[in-house]
Structure 1
Amino acid sequence: MTTTPAAPRSAPPAPPTPVVDPARWPDVARVPHAPLRAAVAGRLLSRVAARRGLRVELPGGRVLRPAAPGAPVLRLHHPRAFLHRVGESGLIGFGEAYQAGDWDSPDLTALLTALAAAPQTLVPAGTRWLRRLYVQRPPAAESSTVDGARRNIPRHYDLSNDLFALFLDPTMTYSAALFPTGPAPGRAPLATWDGLPAAQHRKIDRLLDLAGVGPGTRLLEIGTGWGELALRAAARGARVVSLTLSEEQLALARRRIAEAGYEGRAEVRLCDYRAAEGAYDAVVSAEMIEAVGRPFWPGYFRTLDRVLAPGGRVALQAITMPHDRMTASSRTYTWILKYVFPGGLIPSLRAVSETAARHTALRVRAADAYGPHYAETLRLWRERFTAHAGQVAALGFDDVFRRTWELYLAHSEAGFRAGYLDVHQILLTRGAPS
């Protein structure tokens, strides 16, 4: 890396380096020694900074390359550790470097949005063969088999109901909200914290409407969350069976249903989707397919087809990505898989349609996208999570965990802002597509 003198201003002080527990975070605690790969990483960093217009700040007020005012900032506190981590394991190393405090940014989402735009062009074409040096395959132990799913789901959803309550709104809904929008086409959603519960109800009601849920509807929900969708369906007069693999979610959802007086209409079961029984007029699932895993998509859709009564409707809410990016990343072990959501894969809309058509009688009838609404939902969650850092620590979560989740929420928000990710509400019925 070559550096240039910084503009005449004092360098901001480096934040305290997190204390890393090597038993809890072994790969964050370990700084690899990979000098040749680190040198390559340094050259690539210079290229990426130039291509994306980034300002890379080094200790002592130096800068890697000048950038325009207002450019996204990557602030390196420990450049050697950063480059050796990235050189050894690419984007996993990039994430682990953040967890360890090797780098930071005054606007993490802006930096990650710049990096997320057109990710296939991030690395120069002539150097993409280097990907073979650091790309890993997902561990077989994290595959979402029946046993694997029982291990994977609790790693995220059983962390602590109190933790999720710190940054989710009172509905405890952990999926994209649907905000009112301004009159101008393309205008960003009008997202405020006070408006988030109503926006979550708007999303849930739209999904229930898509599935045709009303009085007497026999409804299966795959992926309970903390019970808000089941509550709203029961309030419509539906009879709900909801499935989850999270013991924490099970306990709170059952309690909320009992407190609302809907025990006779809504039942929550600790059950894998593959073991679903019965016949239902409607099946709904909000952002659960991402945890299924590509090898198991055919079985997932066969389950939907098997339990759906004649004339029934399936309404899914799914995070999606472009089909070519999904295909390219489908066998790649990512930082998100390693530290946040083991065992899953975000599908493309094409993959949903083709898998359902190839393995079942179900066909996609409608698919509506609202990715910008997810970006705003994530912004509100991230701001709330950051504001409650003290309470996160009081619950027993260390600084590395806090940084992990800050990066996860900002990374997700950036994906939607850059258009790399989208979210769809999808209607499937038996028969030909419209």
Structure 2
Amino acid sequence: MTTIQPQPFAPPLAPIRLRTALARIILEQVLDRVPVDVVLPDGSRLGRSHASGTEPSGIRPVVELRHPTAFFERLARDPKIGIGEGYMDGHWRAAPGTDLADVLLPFAERLTTAVPRPWVALRRIVDRAVPREQRNTLTGSRRNIEAHYDLSNDLFASFLDETLTYSSALFDRTRSLRSQSLEEAQLRKVHAILDEARVTQGTRVLEIGTGWGTLAIEAARRGARVTTLTLSREQAALARQRAEAAGVADAVDIRVEDYREARGRFDAIVSVEMIEAVGEEYWPTYFRALDGLLAQGGTVAIQAILMSHDRYLVTRRSFGWIQKHIFPGGLIPSLQAVSEVTERETELRLTQVHTFGQDYAETLRRWRETFLRAWPLVQRLGFDETFRRKWEFYLAYCEAGFASGYLDVAQLRLERAA
């Protein structure tokens, strides 16, 4: 929006004032299309806030805009990042009785239609390129991973289940969700992807992205020999302890090592929600590495967060709130992008796709509820209220993405072409 220039006689603050006024106008027009009510400090509603329809519950979500001037100024300076940062700073919140994910869901459902078409052209002006320091070079990848996964093992343990699995669970949809614990659903996910990779007694397994070791432990319990790679020293240390406690340490080799540094041949290569951290620039390198490490007749199984190809093309060069505050260097691929890069760069081909995006929405809902309940413990670890709001927004934002279908998650099997 910086193309809006002041006249020569305008005061120095005119550009930001103009952008701030424009940000408010655009949000008011968005609210004409999205069934969410935004209430100002004086009790009035922003704009008309009368978009038709309600949510499935029959109740319209309500937002309290507590500091309108500060919020619109932030939105004017950085439209893509300002909403999340406004929540972090307490400029807005879900009203009492309204869940944050319920606020975000209507926007996610109307992502391509909420902004009136005349304003969509401004995207080229407001989009920011991904900073070069977030490139996933060998050193950049370590820095990006450490920024998230080395926050604190105790932090993650406060809201994850007993398996310490930080990826989508897989629920049994023939049973009620309430009857299934998150631990049970996470183990179902782990064994589903091990099945996709055909991991059995004697299988040589390479895992890219150790997490806290659950998949490696379960593969070892099947009788496999596992080499697992992570860039997080915090994760590696705890994963080693857990493998020892499970009695499988002799079958699990946990390495602090980049996938580009791996050597050997493996019958099965498994990677759960790691491709999102690779970065588009390095997808060819990543898939060529998998191809080169896979033994003849072997199988690759990847769990990947996905978005539609159209949305991927729109977002691939754009710097957003998640990249700035949660996953530096990250990019979510499309299924088409994965297929195209593997066909262009390798002999690997997609042979199986199983999607379960709604299960991720449920997983995130449970994580967020547990995180908020555990906040007193997390706070004692040294994290402040801004961090709490940041992670609450992150988990709710992602939940809305999967619940709306804007995001999906899938287990993908790749094999060499016959």
TM-score class normalised by the smaller sequence: over 0.9
* Equivalent residue runs for 1:233-272 within 5 Å: 233-272=219-258
Partner of 2:36: 54
1:39 maps onto 2:21 in alignment = yes
State the distance in 2 between where 1:191 and 1:253 align: 29
Deviation at 1:261, TM superposition (A): 1.4
Give the residue type in structure 1 aligned to 2:177. L
User: What SS does structure 2 have at the residue aligned with 1:180?
Assistant: coil
Give the residue type in structure 2 aligned to 1:34. I
Give the residue type in structure 2 aligned to 1:331. R
Partner of 1:121: 113
User: What SS does structure 1 have at the residue aligned with 2:352?
Assistant: strand
Bigger mean CA deviation after superposition, 276-285 or 70-79: 70-79
1:150 maps onto 2:132 in alignment = no
CA offsets per residue over residues 292-322 of structure 1, 9 Å max, x none? 0001000000000000000000000000000
Question: How many residues matched?
Answer: 395
State the distance in 2 between where 1:170 and 1:229 align: 13
CA offsets per residue over residues 190-224 of structure 1, 9 Å max, x none? 156x6111100100000000100000000000000
State the distance in 2 between where 1:235 and 1:66 align: 56
User: What SS does structure 1 have at the residue aligned with 2:121?
Assistant: helix
Q: Which runs of 4+ in 1 moved over 3 A?
A: 66-69
* Equivalent residue runs for 1:228-377 within 5 Å: 228-377=214-363
Deviation at 1:122, TM superposition (A): 2.2
Deviation at 1:133, TM superposition (A): 3.4
Preserved CA contact (<8 Å) 2:305 2:332: yes
Preserved CA contact (<8 Å) 1:211 1:282: yes
- The alignment's TM-score, normalised by the length of structure 1, stands at 0.89
- 1:112 pairs, out of 86, 100, 104, with 104
State the distance in 2 between where 1:99 and 1:75 align: 14
1:93 maps onto 2:82 in alignment = yes
Identity %: 51
Give the residue type in structure 1 aligned to 2:269. V
Give the residue type in structure 2 aligned to 1:268. I
User: CA 1:107/1:33 → structure 2, altered by over 3 Å: closer, same or farther?
Assistant: farther
State the distance in 2 between where 1:146 and 1:33 align: 41
Preserved CA contact (<8 Å) 2:37 2:62: yes
User: CA 1:138/1:66 → structure 2, altered by over 3 Å: closer, same or farther?
Assistant: closer
State the distance in 2 between where 1:97 and 1:146 align: 33
State the distance in 2 between where 1:429 and 1:332 align: 32
* Equivalent residue runs for 1:207-226 within 5 Å: 207-226=193-212
Preserved CA contact (<8 Å) 2:105 2:403: yes
Gapped runs of 5+ residues in structure 1?
Answer: 1-31, 184-188
- 1:80 pairs, out of 69, 78, 82, with 69
Partner of 1:421: 407
Give the residue type in structure 2 aligned to 1:50. D
CA offsets per residue over residues 22-50 of structure 1, 9 Å max, x none? xxxxxxxxxx9821111111111111111
User: What SS does structure 1 have at the residue aligned with 2:304?
Assistant: strand
1:139 maps onto 2:131 in alignment = yes
Preserved CA contact (<8 Å) 2:213 2:242: yes
Preserved CA contact (<8 Å) 1:191 1:377: no
1:164 maps onto 2:156 in alignment = yes
Preserved CA contact (<8 Å) 1:179 1:191: no
State the distance in 1 between where 2:232 and 2:162 align: 19
Preserved CA contact (<8 Å) 2:28 2:49: no
CA offsets per residue over residues 65-92 of structure 1, 9 Å max, x none? 3546721222100001111111110020
Give the residue type in structure 2 aligned to 1:225. G
Bigger mean CA deviation after superposition, 370-379 or 33-42: 33-42
User: What SS does structure 1 have at the residue aligned with 2:106?
Assistant: helix
Preserved CA contact (<8 Å) 1:290 1:319: yes
Give the residue type in structure 2 aligned to 1:298. P
Deviation at 1:60, TM superposition (A): 2.1
State the distance in 1 between where 2:279 and 2:379 align: 32
State the distance in 1 between where 2:264 and 2:161 align: 33
State the distance in 2 between where 1:123 and 1:53 align: 13
Preserved CA contact (<8 Å) 2:146 2:231: yes
- 1:406 pairs, out of 389, 392, 414, with 392
- The alignment's TM-score, normalised by the length of structure 2, stands at 0.92
Bigger mean CA deviation after superposition, 45-54 or 276-285: 45-54
Partner of 1:23: none
User: CA 1:33/1:95 → structure 2, altered by over 3 Å: closer, same or farther?
Assistant: farther
User: What SS does structure 1 have at the residue aligned with 2:122?
Assistant: helix
Preserved CA contact (<8 Å) 2:109 2:405: yes
Cα root mean square deviation, aligned: 1.4
Deviation at 1:428, TM superposition (A): 0.2
User: What SS does structure 2 have at the residue aligned with 1:60?
Assistant: coil
State the distance in 2 between where 1:86 and 1:418 align: 24
